[in-house]
Chains A and B, each alone.
Chain A
Amino acid sequence: MYAFYGRIKSFFSNSSVLKTLIVKNYKSRYANTALGVLWAVLTPLLISFIVYFVFSHITQVSEKNFIAYVISGMLPWLCFAASVQEGAGSLTDNAGLWRQFRVPLEFMPASCVAVNFLNLALGLAVAQVFLLRFSPKGIFLFLLLPVPLALHFFFTLGGALIFSSLSVRRKDTAYFLNVFLLFWLWASPVFYFRDRFPAAIQRIFDFNIICPFLNLYRSIYYENTIFNAKDLFAAGCLAFASFLCGYYFFIKREDELKKAL
């Protein structure tokens, strides 16, 4: 336990290495592109807009401020899905880095998650402007964004750590994740309203562990209110549990991973 605690401590104390990895990741991602970092913002916004258009103009959803609803759901979801998928392949993609520099293995998935969350933060900041949330309340709520972001981050990191360690030995993990995430997307109120569904389905949503995080983002961008305590508490517990379990799982398999790499 002490060793585990020490590892977590070193995770935070070696932040410079993580930072370097993040920078490297960022640079690599957007090198040789014309729009560069702008894609970090454009991609999720465009996807959100497409969804909004489809639902509002084709399926005729008439809710007020529907775009805000979609944005506040799509951006976090896309970030989560991308983090988990990229994190899953990060160990095998960066094996050389680990061999040459003995970078802590967990930093590989962590850097992928971190990059995506940075993009999310950027996207949400742009959304703030896009949604014209210039009122003092809107700005105050915007300043609360780091809370859901941090909780969401650790939650995602836990998942990325688990799947990254699984996919070293089992390549099937990547294919499984593709399908699973797609299912989870549709099983989550990302771009549709939960109260449109029968009560029984709504209860399933209550057990969807992504919902509390979505609710936190929605409260800022859609409901324009401060967080719901229940959602906050649930998100906090889920983040904590996910991170710890994910890290523990990862460390336990670390030796095997190193040999496999």
Chain B
Amino acid sequence: MENEIALQIRDVSERYGIDFLINGKVTHEEITAVDKVSFTVKKGECVAMLGANGAGKSTILKLIAGIIKPDAGDVRVEGRVASILDLGAGFDPQLTGRENIFLLAKFYGIAREEIQPKMDQVIAFSGIGKFIDAPLKCYSSGMYVRLAFSLAIHVEPDIILIDDCLAVGDEAFQKKCIEKIFELKNQGKTIIFVTHDAHLVSVLARRGIFVKDGRILHDGPIERAIVCYTQMVGDINGIGILNKDNLSVIFNNGKIYINWRNAPLSKGFGGFAVIRTGQGELFSKDLSWRVELEGMDSLMARATDAEAKVIQAWSLKLAEDNCIDWQIDTAAGAQEKEYFSRINLMLNERFTHWSTLGKEGVFPSQYPSVREWQVLDAQEPDTDGGGIISCRSESPDEAALPGVVLESAKKDDFLVARALITGPEQSARVLSLEAMPATKGNRFSGRIRLFENNQELASYLSFRKAKFIQEHTIQKLGTKLFFDRGRLRLFYKESELTKANCFFGALYAKDRWFSSFDAAWSFKKQDEQTILVSAYWPELKARHAWQVSLVDQFRISWKVVLETEDDLEVLSCRNGIYLSTGYKDWFSSYEEGVFPGEFQWQDMVLENPLRKSVGVKKSGLYPGVALETRESGVNNTVAIQNSDSHYQSRIIYAAAVLPRAVEGFNCPAGRREIFSGVIQLYPSAELVEKYLEVSQKEKLDKELSLQARAIETHTIQKGPIKIIFDAASLRIFYNELEISEGRGIRSVFDVHKINKQLNSDFALWQVDKVSLNRMKCVLRWVDIASISQEWDISIEDNRIDLLLTMTSYDNTDIFNERTGLLLSRNYKQWVTASGEEGEVNYDFSERSKGVALKNNKAGRMHVREFIQQGTVYPAASFSSFLDRQEQVVSLTVDKDNGLGLYFFKVKPREAASKTPGTYVYFKGSVIFKEPEPADKDPEDHLSGHIINLPGLKALDLRFDNGAIKLFWGKKEITKGLGFYTSFCCAGLWHDSSQAIWKKNKICAQSLEVTGTWAWIPVIQSWRIKTEGKKIILDIETEVYREFYLESEEVNLFLTDEYRKWFAGKRRGPFYNEFSQSDLFRFRIWISRVADERMGVEARLFRLPAVSLRPQSIARDAYLVIENANILRDKGRLIQYMRLPDREQALIRPCHYNSFKGVIEVGRI
């Protein structure tokens, strides 16, 4: 044998005699394992042997190893052979690993002196550590094979035979083994190995022998051997071969392999289909197949599931002109309906370039080192509406390689064509056609075409491109609309006017924008003038259906209909066009401007809301383009935008805000037109100018007529009284003299949900003149969509009636409701229904100031007539018809708004939360007449209640709406409010007399009352009990919302007829010195001692002594005696005052005891 030949096999055959036991009978049969096999292997060569199980590979290896002698033929081997055929054979489980290696090394013929160093290498390589000295019977299977393999490859024979045990053990060990094999290869060892791992084979060997049924079908380049293996190995029932002319197609259990002139074009899994099911994706190559050959050029194949139901059927036919017609049908599976997802066609690396109708690219020469396949086109995939992708080789060495086209056979199939590249393991180029996610097709009809050369391929692609364009274009003279894979592009005389996303539509629903460029497109050319495009959003189950028609060369009509499958709440819609950067100037119906130089998202400021069109002016070759809205179901407003630098476009669009439905959704399932418009082209600049001129004139006319109409529609009048609604203000005129100021009438309230104060000034008004003297206004707020107010204002004889109602659509917590009448600052004198009166002056530093009232329970406020230089400001009275138990009045003097008369609703806390519905917010009237002199409200609204002190018959205690007054006989010994509590918040004092009180329990000697304050979230409960000469007081306070408390007082204000004071043992006189302002008090005594009586005595005991004794004093409280001038009353004040620390000023909702103590009356 020549020196360089390691082994030679010539016409070797091997047969096995096997006894078959069938039905108790033994039948002896001769099976041919190897049939006339011949090959030669040179020294240093690495050969892979591939084939299905039972092909005869192991038998060939045994023949080479000399384990068996061939029945015929000749095997010659040069050199020492180590065979790794049966890992672990020969190992004795009773002996340790070390003993086994030592013994078996000798069997390998390793010399005695070499054994020890070899043993160390083997032990190190196997990586089993200290277990080397444990009996083999303790080893795991992994350790076992690692030791066996480690021993086998360290023997260093000349020829190594490996039978499918290359990759044993874990991944790390496998890597080591493969590295060792490489090392042996580099050392020039001859290696013959059998494996089923195609990737490993291609890495290790250059030569491959494919064995099938004991015969060698291929002995040559490894790639071809792998192809033979992948193509021909599989379940025999699922294999079918088609041949026609130069084309040969092998269907192998859900994969198709294409061979052109006996050279394989496919790689890896060849062509296979992926189906989407409810549980994920199903690959055709993983199914169980049966093939029925229908001839040399066609076959049917069916895949069945575990229950033998047909779930997929393929039809393959070799048609004329080197075409493969490929149809895939999916059926309802056992579990769920299956939908076709995509076709992948894996091709070998001889192909260098790919192209679709619109894009081209190059396959990279290096495979990216990632597991997932990489899409080569990083942009959005083409939505071809037909799907076609091709590949070819531009290499001069591959001139014989055909061009391959993968295309959809059906025109209406919407398939995304993609070129992909696999990782290095599979090292293949992939052409893919994928169905749009929204489509749920059960069938794929495709075609694979092969072209002899690149010229024919290019010609075919041109033809397809032209056809595609023709099918997706409508044209009238110079104007053309072309639907190009999801972009509706507009051309005028071959110049493209559109850019980037071109025509677009968008909806705002489910808290985000849905744009047509993210949607699943479908397209249909209705006729030569009209195209129908739809964009479907699967998440919304909604679709924009566009009808775009070329009316004439310069006009395109565009209608958009929204179709929803389910009820949907859509807040806003937009439809528009992205136009070229070439446009520099913009215009709207009434305005013009220039686009800014830099690109960032920016709306062009359009002042006039009455515009009906926006556009861009002619620029160079680009004609002017305008978007005009027409009447549709929804009110659209047009606008112009400049995009950012990514899109670099000018955008003209129409936007609409859809009104919210009161109940349910504003877009129930069905169809509605949301946009109708016209795109007008202006081929010359003059046309635009003329348009603008006409529009301006129209605008002016319109404005004037609108103004007149507006005034007319917003004015009501009767007799001398007129009210004009003017931009959120209700201006009140009396005999043509404006007597109101600022907003006229306003409402203010707080909404807890959004923690904001809302008012009528910034509401969205909708005014409706019901009759000549009556108007209704609906107010809504942007901040909160779930509430609205309705104002019903009518003018009667000398009177304005107001009815304000509030409607809430959910549980919105509304509180601090107030309604105000703002009158001219010329009104100076005010009177309340309880007789309090005063005069207003605007000479103060703050912007506004409240007028302090002793009694804020009045149901009416008046202003007196004011005459200045012949101008008469009539007297007016503002009254509320609401329950007086629930409201207080307040007067504010505001430098901007004049004099404000407010009614403030005070509601019990339980009523603060609203359930959905409508309620009366305010009901009242403004009457123009002088108040009656004795127009005092009867005191029946006062909640005075009299208790006698059992110990002092002459003393009466009267609880009077948050104040306790003491009467000695008929004489009141208290002054002002008497006994009352007070809270200071934000610099203002809120007295208990300003709260609304409710009697809880009334007895002869006791009283329990609860008061709810206006303005501050405080409720107080007073338990008043009399015992002998004592009035026992227990005051509990509840804070139900956070607020800043600056100070809290419990006051006993007594008449200034008291001359002396005492505090414990201390005594002193009062001097009649009182401060001018009630902000400053003349403090005589301050103490922190509890349980000390502090009180006053009158001279000569004309009046009983009165003292106040708290049971305890809080840490931050003080006892005070002083002279005070409170609300213009001068008297003696005994006070329990709390001054919380600064840190404690924020009071969180809580319950606490404000005061517990005793008022004692009588001799000390």
Contacts and interface: CB of A to CB of B under 8 A. Distances in A.
Interface in A11-64: 16-17, 20, 23-24, 27-28, 31-32
Contact of B92 (A16, A24, A95, A102): A24
Nearest to A98: B67
B857 to A, nearest CB: 108
A100 B17 contact: no
A20 B106 contact: yes
Given A23-B103, A101-B107, A259-B16, A28 B94 contact: yes
Contacts of A24: 92, 95, 103
Among A99, A100, A259, chain B packs the most CB atoms within 10 A around the CB of A100
B83 A100 contact: yes
Contact of A16 (B16, B17, B86, B106): B106
B895 interface: no
B135 interface: yes
Interface in A83-138: 94-103
Contacts of B65: 102
A132 to B, nearest CB: 37
B16 A99 contact: no
B104 interface: yes
B885 to A, nearest CB: 103
Nearest to B88: A96
B86 A259 contact: no
B90 interface: yes
Given A24-B103, A259-B17, A31 B86 contact: no
Given A102-B66, A102-B67, A259-B68, A32 B94 contact: yes
A99 B85 CA distance: 8
A197 B890 CA distance: 148
Interface of B: 16-17, 62, 65-69, 83, 85-86, 88-90, 92, 94-95, 99, 103-104, 106-108, 135
B147 to A, nearest CB: 13
> Shortest 6 CB-CB distances between A and B: which pairs?
A96-B89, A101-B107, A31-B94, A97-B90, A20-B106, A100-B89
Given A17-B107, A102-B67, A32 B135 contact: yes
6 contacts: A20-B106, A23-B103, A27-B99, A28-B94, A97-B107, A99-B89
Nearest to B152: A100
Contacts of A96: 86, 88-90
A32 B90 CA distance: 19
A21 to B, nearest CB: 8
B95 A31 contact: yes
A32 B65 CA distance: 35
Given A24-B103, A28-B92, A100 B68 contact: no
Contacts of B103: 20, 23-24, 27
B98 to A, nearest CB: 12
A171 interface: no
B66 A97 contact: no
A259 B30 CA distance: 12
A255 interface: yes
Interface of A: 16-17, 20, 23-24, 27-28, 31-32, 94-103, 255, 258-259
- Highest count of chain B CB atoms <10 Å: which of A94, A95, A102, A103: A102
B90 A101 contact: yes
Contacts of B16: 259
A103 B104 CA distance: 11
Given A20-B103, A28-B94, A99-B86, 18 more contacts: A20-B107, A27-B94, A27-B95, A27-B103, A31-B92, A32-B135, A96-B86, A96-B90, A98-B67, A99-B89, A100-B83, A100-B85, A100-B107, A101-B90, A101-B107, A103-B107, A255-B69, A259-B17
Nearest to A97: B90
Nearest to B69: A255
A24 B104 CA distance: 9
Contacts of B135: 31-32
A99 B99 contact: no
Nearest to B137: A32
Contacts of B90: 94, 96-97, 100-101
A17 B95 contact: no
B109 to A, nearest CB: 9
Contacts of A27: 92, 94-95, 99, 103
A258 B68 contact: yes
Nearest to A17: B107
Contacts of B68: 255, 258-259
A82 to B, nearest CB: 19
Contacts of A97: 89-90, 107
A92 to B, nearest CB: 13
Nearest to B93: A28
Nearest to B112: A16
A16 B107 CA distance: 9
B374 to A, nearest CB: 45
Contacts of A32: 94, 135
B447 to A, nearest CB: 53
A22 to B, nearest CB: 11
Nearest to B155: A101
Contacts of B17: 259
A76 to B, nearest CB: 28
Contacts of A103: 107
Nearest to A95: B89
Contact of B67 (A23, A28, A99): A99
B122 to A, nearest CB: 15
B383 to A, nearest CB: 62
Contacts of A28: 92, 94-95
B86 A100 contact: yes
Contacts of A255: 68-69
Nearest to A33: B94
Contacts of A99: 62, 67, 85-86, 89
A108 B989 CA distance: 116
Contacts of B99: 27
Contacts of B89: 95-97, 99-100
A71 to B, nearest CB: 30
Contacts of A20: 103, 106-107
A102 B135 CA distance: 24
B580 to A, nearest CB: 78
A96 B84 CA distance: 11
Contacts of A23: 103
B94 A101 contact: no
B86 A258 contact: no
A176 B990 CA distance: 121
A250 to B, nearest CB: 15
Contacts of B83: 100
B148 to A, nearest CB: 9
A95 B16 CA distance: 17
Contacts of B108: 101
A98 B83 CA distance: 11
A23 B16 CA distance: 34
Contacts of B106: 16-17, 20
Nearest to A32: B94
Contacts of B62: 99
A17 B16 CA distance: 29
Contacts of A98: 67
Among B66, B90, B104, chain A packs the most CB atoms within 10 A around the CB of B90
A255 B103 CA distance: 26
Given A17-B107, A23-B103, A100-B86, A258 B92 contact: no
A31 B86 CA distance: 24
A27 B96 CA distance: 10
B1045 to A, nearest CB: 90
A28 B108 CA distance: 19
Nearest to B90: A97
Nearest to B96: A31
Contacts of A102: 65-67
A31 B95 CA distance: 7
A94 B90 CA distance: 7
Nearest to B81: A102
A73 to B, nearest CB: 32
A198 B68 CA distance: 54
